[in-house]
Chains A and B, each alone.
Chain A
Amino acid sequence: MENSEAARTSRRNALLGVNLLRLITLLTALPVIGVIVYIIVRGAPALSWEFISAMPREGMRAGGILPAIMGTFYLTLGTAVFSVPLGVAAGIYIAEYAPDNRVTRLVRIAIINLAGIPSVVYGLFGLGLFVLFLKFGTSILAASLTLSIMTLPVIISTTEEALRQVPNAFRVVSTSLGATRWQTIKRITLPQALPGVITGVILGLERAAGETAPIMFTGAAFFLPLLPQSPLDATMALPYHIFVISTSVPGMPVEIQYGTVLVLLIFVLGMNVIATLIRNRARARRQW
């Protein structure tokens, strides 16, 4: 009898423990959900076709935010152009070719640390290197390059990680059938790792799209009457625009502020959802 009493107590304690963990998990999700719901509620009234397709009017206090949307689009695209080929190539090299020695380990540690550098430091570095030294000026080009350097570590490490997850048996089998190392990568390893690589690329670009500090000194403008015409033009961008209209424009209608935040949120969360879909689909189809 005593025995079953003890068993019942321990079962009750276990149940209590699980429920406590469940509660804590729920609590951590709460702020995120709260922020999103709040922004949707406050920002949704401002959303209209005009808001996303028109130029700002009356000192940005009315009209739309088209130049900021286009600017963020261009910056994300520019970042992708530079960081994806470089990052994927570096990830392939580290995972598939680099010998396991001190130099490789040093490079890997450097990459991991690069991911931890505060974004404002990237901004100042970009200002020094791209804007001033290479004389690109405050431009989409300079800002994209700055964002690329910030994004590279994410893309390199996720590419490397995705490649390492591909079972080594595939490499051995492929080699035994007369494949060169590059043939194995091209035909087997990289296609198998591709969903992971794409997920990493999107998550990296998503972070770039939402950053303010790196573009503040390198390419973002307070206000421009025209859309940018070339990569050497400065541009407006959503994150910096949000900073501007919430700190530096007196008499700014609150719903425009929330509306702009909501547009950025949709942009970034949209990329996140796409990344998740790609990952889930690939996981379901994976044969190993």
Chain B
Amino acid sequence: MSVKISVQNLTLMYSDGVESLHDVSIDIIANAVNVLFGPAGGGKSTLLRALNRLNDLADVDTAQGKIVFNEQNILDPATDVIELRRKVGMVFSRPAPLPLSVYENVIYGLRLMGERNKSLLDERVEQSLRQAVLWDEVYDRLNDPGTSLSGGQQQRLCIARVLALEPEVIMLDEPTSALDPVSTAKIEGMLATLKERLTIILVPHNVQQAARTADYAGFFLQGRLVEYAPGKELFLKPREKETQDYVTGRFG
């Protein structure tokens, strides 16, 4: 097991001075499903958005700490954030296809890089849609608007869109919260395959999903990382009382 991203003593604040994350240290393990879970407002999404510097769009400041990815502190102002975001992709909780065709949605990131080679783009579209287990459902309507797909299909389209950039890490922020059980199962199944090639960080939308999918799991409560351990360990014999109370449904 090797560490893909190392978060070290990270404290994040909103511009009004309220702390969002407090002194969080966590090692994201390569080629595994790393689950970050806990009640709402615990700082999971803020952490995800720190890992690809999407917090730059919001009023969140780093108070202290480091995030080391490929031997670089990505919080360093000199970081090439465009390059970073290509390597650390993100899937959001609400499926959000861009107002473009299915095809153009998938290659959006490549277009931004200036890729024009039609056969490469075609190939990447099919490959990404196959990896996202969507190809069989949409291969004959690649030119339809992305929004014409069902909710579950839209979310897999959003995953394909990230995969098309061949990232090293894919982060999913409650990707199935708006989806039905069948679509949810498809996406969870896909994660098991994807982790052979890349690193997955998942914020699940409930404890059951956390337990089902986690190779490693971190429990977040009010901006602190309470406990971080291999999935089985954390769910079967949690060290901390807060973790135990939450996973057994005593609060949350």
Contacts and interface: CB of A to CB of B under 8 A. Distances in A.
Query: Is B truly associated with A?
Result: yes
Interface of A: 169-180, 183, 187-188, 191-192, 286-288
B18 interface: no
B11 to A, nearest CB: 23
Given A178-B112, A178-B113, A183-B112, A173 B86 contact: no
Contacts of A183: 112
Contact of A174 (B52, B98, B165): B98
Contacts of B57: 171-172, 175
Contacts of B52: 176
A188 B109 contact: no
Interface string B88-125: 01101010101100000000110111000000000000
B99 A177 contact: no
A169 B112 contact: no
B99 A188 contact: yes
Contacts of B109: 177-178
Contact of B99 (A172, A176, A178, A287): A287
A171 B96 CA distance: 11
A177 B85 contact: yes
Interface residues of B, number: 26
Interface of B: 52, 54, 57, 82-83, 85-86, 89-90, 92, 94, 96, 98-99, 108-109, 111-113, 145-147, 158, 161-162, 165
Contacts of A177: 85-86, 89, 108-109, 112, 161-162, 165
B234 to A, nearest CB: 28
A171 B54 CA distance: 11
A44 to B, nearest CB: 45
Given A178-B83, A188-B99, A192-B99, 10 more contacts: A170-B98, A170-B99, A173-B96, A177-B86, A177-B89, A177-B108, A179-B112, A180-B82, A188-B98, A191-B99
Nearest to A180: B82
A287 B147 contact: yes
A180 to B, nearest CB: 7
Contacts of B158: 173
Nearest to B109: A177
A178 B99 CA distance: 17
A256 B145 CA distance: 53
Contacts of B145: 287
Contacts of B165: 177-178
- From A174, A176, A192, residue with most partner B Cβ within 10 Å: A176
Contacts of B161: 177
B92 A169 contact: yes
A288 B99 CA distance: 8
A282 to B, nearest CB: 11
A169 B54 CA distance: 12
B172 to A, nearest CB: 12
A192 B98 CA distance: 10
Please indicate which of the listed interface residues A170, A171, A187, A286 has the most CB atoms of chain B within 10 Å of its own CB. A187
Nearest to A168: B57
B98 A173 contact: yes
A174 B112 CA distance: 9
A7 to B, nearest CB: 42
B92 A178 contact: no
A188 B98 CA distance: 8
25 contacts: A169-B94, A169-B96, A170-B96, A170-B98, A170-B99, A171-B57, A172-B57, A175-B57, A176-B89, A177-B109, A177-B112, A178-B82, A178-B86, A178-B112, A179-B82, A180-B82, A183-B112, A187-B111, A187-B112, A188-B98, A188-B99, A286-B99, A287-B99, A287-B146, A288-B147
A175 B54 contact: yes
A190 to B, nearest CB: 12
